[in-house]
Structures are given as C-alpha cells and as structure tokens.
Copies of this chain bind each other. A is one copy, B any other.
C-alpha cells in the first residue's frame, strides 16, 4: 500500500497548506479519499494519473473534505474521460454535485455513480477479489464515516527452486499459487506447502477523519497496519476539541495504542499551531510509531 497525502490541514485552504485529500494505492487500485477544494491541482502536482482514479470516498460533507469534488468531476468531463467514476459519501452528496452540473449544463459523458451512505453501522461499500472497503462510523458534528481498506490474502508464492527440484511441470504453477498440490516427475502428489511460501500478510489502512475521541472504533480497526487519525488540536486545546468534535494528538495516540496498530499517521492540524512537531511529541508519549502527514508526503504502508 502506498499513501500519498494531497492535503492534511483543517478548514481553510492556504497557499502552502491544503485541506484533506489523499490517494491510497492498493492492489492496483488508486482510491481517492476526501476531496477538498484544490484537490485536482494537488493530484496534478503530485503526478497522480486522473484516469486511474475510479473510486472516491468522501467522509463527510464539510467543505474542507468535499468542495473539490464537483470541480474534479467537471475536469474529468472536459478531459474526455470515458471510464466510470464511483462516489461513496453521505446522503445528499449526489444532489449537491448534480445540481451544480445541471446549473452549468455540464453533464458528464462518462458513468457517474453515487453510493450514498446513511447507515450508522459499519458496512462493506466496495469489494473485489483483492480488497474491500468498509465504513468506520465516526463521531463528528455531521454524519461522518472513516474507511477501512483491507487487502484480501494474496496467492501463495511459488518456491520455484523447490518445484523444479521435484520436477513439477510448469503447467501446474498457476494452480500451485492458488494452493493446490501438484504431481512431481514421477506422478506422486507434492503437498502445496512444500513448493510454496506463505503470501505476504494482508495489510489494512484505517482512515479516521474527522472525529471526536471515539473508542467505539477500536474493535474495527484492531491490528491495522496503519491508522490515519485526525489530530486537529493539542491537549492544550482539549476544550476546543471537545466542543468541535475533533481529537487531540494524545487522543489519536490512545486510539492507536488500544487498537494495536503498527503505525499512526496524524493530520488535519488546526492552523493555529506554527510547529507541527508538537503533535508528534504529544502522541509519542503514548504511542511510539507516529508519522506526521504533510502535503505531498508519500507513505509506504
């Protein structure tokens, strides 16, 4: 998995700081997660190929997470896109986008599919043979979902030396990777585990923004490879976090620790803090493996 941070600051776009959007590359997919104003420019700046984006996941309908969506959809149209585009987001997102396209008589010439969400329980909203995406209901001022991206176990890896030594014909290799046994040179069946390695363990990425401290999510994100958790405030401004239903860096770290994730990525910083290191320091008092999201940063998960 490769995560590209297009923007990770809260609220108002600035010359040097973009609000939330990120691209997750997983098993051949490029998933766009949130789409603040300016996302299409950030996609170009960081050389993300527009045509590879087919699924957009919108956490909630605050402007700093979705005001760039209609512009992106329009730009796709102007560029002659043909591939379908699927939008997953809170109920109302379809009306907001289509109204604006209608006012400009700018209908898309590609398939635009809205998957509106209103369920308050986790639900699988995308699934193929390699990956699934499940909502993570969060606690914010408006209906909000995080998203859990989970790889499915891959094929077993062929131990090509072992297979050759045993004289297994290469016509069996595909079946072997799927877990089947295969005959050796003498026609005796070789157990699959003797000619394969275990596949890489499936990875998972949990995206949780925006949300108050909400331990109800812990069972769902347990043992995730990486957790992006918003940290709009430092503990210094705990009162503001509580009032606006955001989290502090310390709270994000507490979630990471309790969920036993491998890696915590912080973001959605309030503009009031000149130095982001304070977020890392505060979180690391509780949870060691902390990365600060920054616009343009690419994170291997």
B-contacting residues of A (Cβ < 8 Å)? 11-15, 37-38, 40-41, 44-45, 60-63, 67-68, 70-71, 74-75, 78-79, 90, 92-93, 95-96, 99-100, 103-106, 141-142
Contacts and interface: CB of A to CB of B under 8 A. Distances in A.
Contacts of A70: 63, 67
B71 A67 contact: yes
* Most B CB within 10 A of own CB, among A14, A75, A78, A104: A104
8 contacts: A13-B38, A13-B41, A37-B38, A60-B104, A61-B104, A92-B103, A96-B103, A103-B142
A280 to B, nearest CB: 25
A20 to B, nearest CB: 13
A61 B70 CA distance: 12
A13 to B, nearest CB: 5
Contact of A100 (B12, B67, B78): B67
B63 A40 contact: no
A60 to B, nearest CB: 8
B142 A105 contact: yes
Contacts of A13: 38, 40-41, 71, 75
B62 A106 contact: yes
A60 B106 CA distance: 12
Task: Identify the 7 closest CB pairs spanning chains A and B, nearest first.
Answer: A61-B103, A63-B74, A12-B75, A37-B71, A92-B103, A62-B104, A67-B71
